Amino acid sequence: MRIGYPCINRRIGCTPNSTFRLANYSPQRLVETIRGNLECLQRTLAFNAEHGVLFFRIGSSLVPFASHPVCDYDWADHFRSEFSRIGRFAGDHGMRLSMHPDQFVLINALDPDIIARSAAELVYHAQVLDLMELDRAARVQIHIGGAYGDRPAALDRFCENYQRLSEPVRRRLAIENDERLFGLSDCLTVHRRTGVPIVFDRFHHECLNAGESVREALRLAAATWQAEDGPLMVDYSTQAAGQRAGRHSEHLDPEAFEAFLAEAVEVDPDVMLEIKDKEASAIEAVAVLKALEA
DNA sequence: AGGTGTCAAGCGTCC
DNA sequence: GGACGCTTGACACCT
């Protein structure tokens, strides 16, 4: 089992998510920003390797405006060797990488323009992982999308539009159960029709489920991953005590996490901690895991 | 230097 | 039908 955290390390004094305003776009600005982001990503992964943190989600703004029409510069070619080096570092350390486009990516939208922009954004995400020369275990996770007043139709549309995505995107894609519209059972339906594997979000499952226990849900989600796709990916977070519903906790609760590990041990997933203090909780979680294994 | 309104993109909810 | 929350970070402009 690998433990990870998303997008940024709060301790090392750099961010791999630097961006700029669209109005300030220039090829020079783009190149400077990507260079800084890649350098910071490399530093982040080095930090993670030293701390036994072997799972990391790369933020979507690694290459700002990558799928926007304004971006006509061949950044992929410009930074080819840097991407490759980062990917090799990850591979050498047994790391797994993932990405998670944000809520604007909706491949089941009604508006063809939204679908087209979403597809372009997915091409960019898959391209980052391809440039790093990572195997199929490195995934791009999205939600099924909106309901548009007719959930069954929206789910059908996801499956139809999935088939129209390019092969490089399809081989990276995974879907995640959300907290309000499409739960694990919906994801399983989509999986049966498309083969896309399911990222299990434990917190979302608490909010929306069909009565499956966490243990059962883990087993069902794990079965959607082929050997070459790597182990099941899990997003782990907990409700911040006393805060608005949906807000993530500030710190890891080691006892709750240990209880979760007891349920997860059979399927042995890779676990992404969506907790606000990022690497601090991940390091603590690695310690909890090691204590259990000892 | 520090504070704060705003940022490519959309859905769902609430009024 | 319009404003806001989502979840969050970072920019960029303001004082």
Note the Cα A178 to chain centre separation in Å: 13
Nucleotide C15 C1' to residue A13 CA (A)? 27
Q: Residue A140 pairs with which residues in a beta bridge? A: A99, A173
Range of the domain at A279: 3-293
Nucleotide B7 C1' to residue A61 CA (A)? 13
Kindly state the DSSP code that residue A99 receives in the 8-state scheme: E
Kindly state the DSSP code that residue A247 receives in the 8-state scheme: P
Looking at per-residue confidence, does A247 or A228 come out higher? Answer: A228
- For residues A82 and A38, the answer to whether their CB atoms sit within 8 Å is yes
A148 touches strand B (CB under 7 A): yes
How many CB atoms neighbour CB A21 within 10 A?
A: 8
Of A36-40, A127-131, A203-207, the one with minimum mean pLDDT is A203-207
Q: Across chain A, what does the average pLDDT equal?
A: 95
Kindly state the DSSP code that residue A31 receives in the 8-state scheme: H
> Taking 80 as the threshold, does the pLDDT of residue A247 lie above it?
no
Using the CA of A8, give the nucleotide whose C1' is nearest. Answer: C9
Percent of chain A with pLDDT over 90: 93
Q: What is the pLDDT of residues A163-177, one digit of tens each?
A: 999 999 999 999 999
Q: What is the pLDDT of residues A59-118, one digit of tens each?
A: 999 999 999 999 999 999 999 999 999 999 999 999 999 999 989 999 999 999 999 999
How many structural domains are present in chain A? 1
Nucleotides on chain C within 7 angstroms of protein Cβ: 5-12
Nucleotide C5 C1' to residue A106 CA (A)? 19
A150 touches strand B (CB under 7 A): no
What is the CA angle A84-A86-A88, rounded to 5?
A: 70
Cα separation, A92 vs A24, in Å, equals 38
Note the Cα A280 to chain centre separation in Å: 19
Nucleotides on chain B within 7 angstroms of protein Cβ: 7-13
DSSP-derived 3-state class of residue A160? helix
Q: What number is the average pLDDT over the span A26-42?
A: 96
A244 touches strand B (CB under 7 A): no
Q: What is the pLDDT of residues A266-289, one digit of tens each?
A: 999 999 999 989 999 999 999 999
pLDDT for the residue numbered A293: 87
Q: Which residue has the tokens 């069902």?
A: A220
Q: Which residues numbered 32-71 in chain A sit less than 7 A from strand B, measured from CB?
A: 60-61, 64-68
pTM for the whole thing?
0.97
How far apart, in Å, are the Cα atoms of A144 and each of A4, A12, A161, A225, A232? 23, 35, 11, 17, 18
Q: Identify each DSSP E strand in chain A by its residue range.
A: 3-6, 55-58, 96-99, 139-143, 173-176, 198-201, 233-236, 270-273
Cα separation, A281 vs A294, in Å, equals 20
Nucleotide C10 C1' to residue A280 CA (A)? 21
pLDDT for the residue numbered A243: 65
pLDDT for the residue numbered A124: 97
- For residues A27 and A257, the answer to whether their CB atoms sit within 8 Å is no
CATH number, domain of A149, equals 3.20.20.150
Using the CA of A18, give the nucleotide whose C1' is nearest. Answer: C10
Beta carbons within 8 Å of A10's beta carbon, 6+ residues apart: A277, A278, A279, A280
